[in-house]
Amino acid sequence: MSIVYSFGELLVDMLAQPDSQQSVNYRPFPGGAPANVAVAVAKLGGESRFVGQVGDDFFGHWLVEAVKQYDVNSDYLFVTSQAKTALAFVSLDAQGERCFSFYRDQSADLCFDQACLDRVDFAAAAIFHCCSNTLTHGALAEVTQEALQRARQQGAITSFDINLRPALWPEDRSPQAVITDCIKQVDIIKASVEELAQLKPDWSLSQWQDLFINNGTQLIVLTDGARPVQVVTPDGQFEQAAPIVKVVDTTAAGDAFVGGLLFGLANGLKQGLAFTDWLASGALQETVAQAVVCGALTVSRAGAFPALPYRHEVDEFLLRGQGGE
C-alpha cells in the first residue's frame, strides 16, 4: 500500500457570494488545507487517509460525510462533543484572491490531543503530510511534532506545507521559530515566496533553501503566484511553468498542487521506487508538471473539495496542451 496520511484541520469555508442587491450571502464549502490535500489525492485515484477532529455539530457531521463522499478513509477523523467545528469566512477580490476571517477559538481541530494521536496507527502510512496551522498553539504543536516522529519511525516520508496564516498565530508565538523547529523532521517542504518573506523579510530564497537542505529536507517546492514553480533537491533544481487559466477562486490551489505531488510520489513508491530514486528520475519532473495542472484546474472554479480535479481531467488537460483534441 502507498497510503497518504493528511493531518490537521477540517473546517467549513464560508465563501462570500455577493448579489445584485449589494448584500453578501455565504455558501459553505468543506475545506482546510490538509483535508484539501487528502481529497485531492483521493480524487486523483490515490489511497488517502485523513487524521483530524471536528465538532459533534451540524457542520462537523456534514464535513465527515463530505470527506467520505470523495473516498477518503475517515477511520482517524474523530468527532468531539467538547468543541465546535471551525469556520473560515472567505471573501474574494476581482482576481479571485482570498481574504480569510477565522472562527477557530478552542475549535475541535485545536483539541486534537495525545489521546487522539494514540488511536492513530501509522504503520500503513507511506507519506505523512501536515501544515503549519497545527503549530499555532503549544499543545497541538507538540502533538504535531509527535505525529511527525511516529510517522518517520514507521518509515513514512514526511511532507510539510508552510501554508502561513498570520491571523491564526497568537501575538506571543513566533511562526518563524516554531516552523523552523518543525522542519527538522520533514522530507518535503512546500512554501510560497510570499510566506517565506513574511517569516523572515531579510532572508533570500537561497538562504531558505540552504536552511531546508541542511536540516535534511530532500525536496523543496516554491510557488510564486502565476510564476514558474521552483523545485529544489540536494542534487539540483529546475522550474516548471504553470498553465494560464481564467482564475475564479484561488482557494485550495496550493493544496491541489501538493495533492498532485504526493499522488505522483505515492505511485512511484507503489511501483517499488525508493524516495531518493524517484527524486533522481524523470518521475519528479513528470509529477510536478501534473501537479501544476491540478492547481490550474482548481483555480478555474469555486470552492475547495468540488474544485479539485479528477485524474481524467488532468490527463485531458495535458493532452490538449500537447495538441490533442
State pLDDT tens for residues 256-310: 999 999 999 999 999 999 999 999 989 999 999 999 999 999 999 987 899 999 9
Task: Strand 157-161: give its sheet, edge to edge.
Answer: 73-80, 48-55, 3-7, 125-131, 157-161, 188-192, 219-224, 227-233, 236-240
pLDDT single digits (tens) 202-216: 999 999 999 999 999
Is pLDDT larger for residue 321 or for residue 131? 131
pTM over 0.75: yes
Is pLDDT larger for residue 174 or for residue 40? 40
So what's the pLDDT on residue 323?
Answer: 40
At 152, give phi and psi (nearest 5°).
Answer: -65, -40
Average pLDDT, the chain: 92
C-alpha cell at 232: 529544489
Q: What are the helix (H) ranges across 240-324?
A: 253-270, 275-280, 282-299, 311-321
C-alpha cell at 84: 465546535
Give the Cα separation of 290 and 296 in Å (integer): 10
Give the Cα separation of 262 and 129 in Å (integer): 9
At 90, give phi and psi (nearest 5°).
Answer: -120, 125
**What average pLDDT does range 44-56 have in this prediction?**
98
Beta bridge partners of 221: 190, 231
Q: Which residues are CB-neighbours of 13 under 8 A, at least 6 positions away?
A: 28, 29, 30, 31, 88, 90, 251, 303, 304
Of 105, 115, 116, whose CA–CA distance to 78 is shortest? 116
Q: Which of the four pLDDT bands, split at 50, 70 and 90, describes residue 180? A: very high
Domains of the chain listed by start with CATH number: 3-7+35-86+106-321 (3.40.1190.20)
Give the Cα separation of 120 and 108 in Å (integer): 17
- In the DSSP assignment, the letter for residue 194 is H
Provide the CA 28 distance to its chain's centre, in angstroms: 19
Q: Which of the four pLDDT bands, split at 50, 70 and 90, describes residue 15? A: confident
Is pLDDT larger for residue 53 or for residue 22? 53
Place of cell 503566484: 225
Is pLDDT larger for residue 116 or for residue 281? 116
So what's the pLDDT on residue 17?
Answer: 74
Give the Cα separation of 154 and 271 in Å (integer): 19
pLDDT single digits (tens) 216-249: 999 999 999 889 999 999 999 999 998 989 988 8
Give the Cα separation of 38 and 292 in Å (integer): 17
- Helix, strand, coil shares of the chain, percent, nearest 5, are 40, 25, 30
Distances (CA, A) of 65 to 25, 206, 278: 23, 43, 35
